[in-house]
A and B are shown apart, each in its own frame.
Chain A
Amino acid sequence: GNSVTQMEGPVTLSEEAFLTINCTYTATGYPSLFWYVQYPGEGLQLLLKATKADDKGSNKGFEATYRKETTSFHLEKGSVQVSDSAVYFCALTQGDNDMRFGAGTRLTVKP
């Protein structure tokens, strides 16, 4: 079945460092791919999404490109801030199949 694998955390960075959180997926056909962010004590917020191969989702300085050839949707940000500290979830959905989430990657950004 469809599944998502994302890099294990926690990830600790200094402010203004470059961020990459890896996400790879297993699916038949062309799923839609998402990144969600969860701040402490809150629900998930949609960060960005891409619905077809080579699409790039972007929001708040974060980017992710849908790579069909490598079945990946890695999240990147050029310069992280303390306020980016949160848990990040990669997810996919396809057709009538339910949304599948990765286990989450906890990011801590230190000043």
Chain B
Amino acid sequence: NAGVMQNPRHLVRRRGQEARLRCSPMKGHSHVYWYRQLPEEGLKFMVYLQKENIIDESGMPKERFSAEFPKEGPSILRIQQVVRGDSAAYFCASSHGTGWTDTQYFGPGTRLTVL
């Protein structure tokens, strides 16, 4: 049973470009969470999605960031017009059950570098 898959593992973008990060949850999991980790810091929650629904986006910046989890295919975190401050590791997690108390399984992360 494959774990949570994220791609790409490393992504380099120039300021003003778009970044697309993909996350495939574990088989049988329908809940996906995105987190951002700045260097030497803990993870900060961004958004929680179920298939075709955003459940909680309280941690998402109001501009330039969006997320989706379509009926088919991976979850996508999209960052438009990237700036240097977006450089971070972005982790996706998935869970089987509902709510925050179900165990989350994390992917290996995508390390975004904005030049």
Residues of A within 8 A of B (CB): 32, 36, 41-46, 49, 51, 89, 93-104
CB < 8 Å neighbour of B100 from A43, A44, A97, A101: A97
Stretch in B11-19, B24-32, B40-48 touching the partner: B40-48
Residues of A within 8 A of B56 (CB): 96, 98
Q: Are A104 and B41 closer than 8 Å at their CB atoms?
A: yes
A36, closest chain B residue (CB): B106
Residues of B within 8 A of A51 (CB): 101
Q: How far is the CA of A52 from the CA of B88 in the complex (A)?
A: 34
Q: Are A43 and B91 closer than 8 Å at their CB atoms?
A: yes
B106, closest chain A residue (CB): A43
Q: Are B99 and A43 closer than 8 Å at their CB atoms?
A: no
Q: Are A101 and B48 closer than 8 Å at their CB atoms?
A: no
Q: Are A99 and B42 closer than 8 Å at their CB atoms?
A: no
Q: Are A95 and B100 closer than 8 Å at their CB atoms?
A: yes
Residue B49 interfacial (CB < 8 Å): no
Q: How far is the CA of A49 from the CA of B59 in the complex (A)?
A: 24
Residues of B within 8 A of A96 (CB): 56, 99-100
Q: How far is the CA of A89 from the CA of B93 in the complex (A)?
A: 15
Q: Are B42 and A102 closer than 8 Å at their CB atoms?
A: yes
B89, closest chain A residue (CB): A43
Question: Which A-B residue pairs are the 10 nearest by beta carbons?
Answer: A43-B106, A101-B42, A93-B100, A98-B45, A44-B106, A103-B42, A101-B43, A43-B108, A32-B101, A43-B107
